[in-house]
Amino acid sequence: MMQLLTGGGGNFLSRLSSFPIDSLNEETVELLQAYLQSDEELELKLATRTCGTFVAGLHAWTHALCSYYSVNKKVIHTKVD
């Protein structure tokens, strides 16, 4: 697992933390939703048990990213009006 974290010059975590969240678009979020449709808490527990905390954390981050997009879309729409 550490090889995954440090692979590619050891920049996976830095690339993840500096992900340009404002570049998300509706198509990307819709594609992710297919994998995230189930109960988030149950999925997080299952991911932790079967794959470890790294995968569970990545799963939670993806959920948060989709939630951010949804809220940000409403806020931007409200600011425009």
For 7-50, the pLDDT digits (tens) are 555 677 777 888 888 888 899 898 888 777 766 667 777 777 88
| Residue 59 belongs to some domain of the structure | yes
C-alpha 44: how far from its chain's center? 12
Kindly state the tokens that stand for 65.
């990213």
Q: Tokens representing 11?
A: 């920049």
Give residue 69's domain range: 22-80
Residues 6+ apart with CB under 8 A from 73: 26
Position 75 in a domain: yes
In the chain, how many domains are there? 1
pTM to 2 decimal places: 0.66
The answer to whether the CB of 12 falls within 8 A of the CB of 2 is no
Q: Is position 32 within any domain?
A: yes
